[in-house]
Amino acid sequence: MSESAAARRSLYPVVAPVCAAGLAAVVAATVSFATATHGATVLAGLAAFLAASLLADRFPVPVDDLDANGVSLAFVFGLSAIVLFGWAAGVLVVTATPAVMQLLDRRPPIRIAYNSFAFALTAASAGLVIAPIGGGSPAITAARVVVATYVCYLVNVLLITAVVARATRHSWPGLIASSIRKTILPFTLMGSAVLTLVVLWQRAPLLSLALVGPLLAIQLYQRALLRALRAVRLALTDPLTGLGNHRHFHERLARELENALRCGRPLALCLVDIDDFKRVNDRFGHPAGDRVLSQVATRLRQSGEAFRLGGDEFAVLLTGSEAGEALTAANSIVERISRLDFGQMGSVTVSAGIALAPQHARERDELLRLVDSALYRAKEEGKNRADVYRPDVVEPAELKRLAGAQGRAARLRAAASLASAVDARDVYSGNHSQRVAELAVRLAARIGLSGEELELTQLAGSLHDLGKLALPENLLRKPAPLTEPEWSVLKEHASLGSRMLESLGIGSVAEWVLHHHERWDGTGYPDGLAGTEIPLGARILFVADAFDAMTSDGLYGKPCSADDALSEVVLCAGTQFDPSVVEALAAELDQATAPTADAQLEQAVAV
């Protein structure tokens, strides 16, 4: 069974009874109307109302955020027919309008049948409810219009949202509430137009033309407005899938992120990428690939506000979702898509990554970086799965580049990229990690380390704060002094960075990063090592890091001069810092014409 056939069959429990009941209502209305006697005025009025209703339905009134073309002023003419000419006449007008217009638009038969017969039931319900309300006084007329308006409106909302809930697997009560919130006002206003039209008709049918004319004029205006609205939507819509495009995604993400931060509610961003999609295009052609994209887009709509970012990458915004709820939704997406059967192509799978605001990030670019990291991890861990961003597994792409880099230049480029990501989030201005790396290499060369050790020193200097990628940016950039709990969290960056690096096979770098805040007197962290228990590379990093922190712009005051910073470091030699490394720093700063770190490294490697 094809996917589309299965989707249609899933709607039968809702569609079948509504169509059966609606058909019975139409047959009963036809018999009732045909067996009654009607004057020329009634027949002419029905013909005029039907014509006006058809024209009105052709150009619906746009409603902001309504997931449809809009609401139709055909409601005014159909409901007026019910109040003026009885339920049978009203059923015929209300049923004929969507049937004719949707046939002209070549809509699917199941959709034409459901909409037409659902409207038949709404008209019959309204007509039968007001039938016992007799009398011709203005108050009675107003009561009949009000009751008919809201009975018709509520039955229509119940029936339309029922089939939408079945098709999309969304909550029916949630769809009802959303639809009422968006449409109750325009339908109420149209109810007032119904009352005016009914009163005018009762006074003199020709007077009703005074209202029909302005209503039809509104339709001509709505035609131009609807075209403009569709043009705007087209600019924000991916033409293949009908989802929001890349531009629309960034606009909506910025708006929802602002709302989430202002209202204190979570926002989950889910990136979805089709696994091995290039092979689908290469083996079966781009038309087959387009079919896959369209089917994936259909499944994404069932989970939240979905967008196609380009190629085989999609995004879903899950407003108000915590990590657990977002992961459940993402797993549901992965499972639904894996069940799709594309015939000769077989099945396809997707991987998904999730990041949350404000839990993981408060800025849009940062959130996108983190969710991309989570998606990459899902791919690396076997595909066909969803993963939530975890701070201890950040920047996997660059770490993988670092692990697989061939040659010194490639390793240093990968390390520099990671260092830039760290520095972009830290309190120091400029390239703190690069400056620490350069000074550490100069100190290591002065101490007499080998060429290989100098290269490891430069890597460790670039990556010494790598663990800060796993910490909240608002903690790193907090202008006020940190609290004790905040200091405890900040101190974790050394351990986090070491864990990220220890599996990459780059010598002692992970160990040096782990211990680059150990003090010579044993009061540092994380392990309280003292003296020569601390690896020499870590002792060098500690001095270089402290010196650059004191001489750089940050959040905690103006930078010191090089002389003042050196005096502070010398004062702490033997307690905080290794005295031999401090001596190397003093000698390095005294040598005004010292060669650059890169030159020293090149010389050492050449030897």
144 and 177 part of one domain: yes
Give pLDDT tens digits for 111-142.
Answer: 888 889 999 999 999 999 998 887 778 889 89
Q: Are residues 218 and 271 in the same domain?
A: no
Tokens coding 251: 């606009």
Residues 46, 36: Cα–Cα separation, whole Å = 14
Does residue 301 share a domain with residue 191? no
CATH number at residue 564: 1.10.3210.10
Question: Are 145 and 80 within 8 A, CB to CB?
Answer: no
pLDDT at 478: 78
In which domain, by residue range, is 430 found? 396-606
Average pLDDT of span 21-27: 93
Q: What is the pLDDT of residue 244?
A: 87
- 385 and 400 co-located in one domain: no
Question: Is residue 180 domain-shared with residue 309, that is, in the same domain?
Answer: no
Q: Give the CATH number for residue 51.
A: 1.10.1760.20
Q: Is residue 241 part of a domain?
A: no
Q: What is the mean pLDDT of the chain?
A: 82
Domain boundary residue, one of 389, 415, 440: 389
Residue finishing a domain among 351, 374, 389: 389
Least confident of 24-38, 404-418, 579-593: 404-418
Q: What is the dihedral of CA 153, 159, 163, 166, to 10 degrees?
A: 110
For the chain, report the end-to-end CA distance as a whole number of angstroms.
Answer: 71
Residue with tokens 């009762």: 202
Q: Is there a domain that residue 168 lies in?
A: yes
The C-alpha atoms of residue 388 and residue 365 are separated, in whole angstroms, by 17
Model pLDDT for residues 253-306, shown as the tens digit of each residue: 999 999 888 888 899 999 999 998 888 888 888 888 888 998 898 888 877 789
* Co-location of 215 and 75 in the same domain: yes
Both 544 and 526 in one domain: the answer is: yes
- Adjacent-strand bridge partners of 173: none
pLDDT at 408 over 70: no
Q: How confident is the model at residue 547 (pLDDT cuts 50, 70, 90)?
A: very high
Predicted confidence (pLDDT) per residue in 345-390, tens digit: 888 999 999 999 988 888 888 788 788 878 887 887 788 999 998 7
**What 3 state SS string does 571-606 have?**
HCECCCECHHHHHHHHHHHHCCCCCCHHHHHHHHHH
Compute how many other C-beta atoms are within 10 angstroms of the C-beta atom of residue 405: 17
User: Does residue 406 sit in the same domain as residue 353?
Assistant: no
Q: Is residue 20 part of a domain?
A: yes
d(CA 519, CA 578) in angstroms, rounded, equals: 8
Of 382 and 581, the one with more pLDDT: 581
79 in the same domain as 151 = yes
Instruction: Quote the number of domains for the chain.
Output: 3
Burial profile 152-169: b = 16 or more Cβ within 10 angstroms, e = fewer: bbbbbbebbbbbbbbbee
DSSP assignment string, 352-372: EEEEEETTT-SSHHHHHHHHH
What pLDDT does residue 67 have? Answer: 44
In a domain, 240, yes or no: no
C-alpha of 606 from chain center: 51
Cβ contact 476:468 at 8 Å:
yes
CATH number for the domain spanning 367: value is 3.30.70.270
Neighbours of 215 (CB within 10 A): 18
Domain C-terminal end among 213, 235, 257 = 235
Looking at the structure, tell me whether residues 295 and 199 fall in a common domain: no
Element (H, E) at 460: helix 451-463
Residue 320 placed within a domain: yes
Q: How far is CA 128 from the centre of its chain?
A: 46
In a domain, 533, yes or no: yes
Query: Given pLDDT bands bounded at 50, 70 and 90, which one contains residue 592?
Result: very low
Q: Kindly state whether residues 296 and 354 are assigned to the same domain.
A: yes
Same domain, 443 and 316: no
The answer on pLDDT for 605 being more than 50 is no
Distance CA 80, CA 94 (A): 10
Q: For residues 55 and 72, give the distance between their C-alpha atoms in angstroms, rounded to a whole number.
A: 10
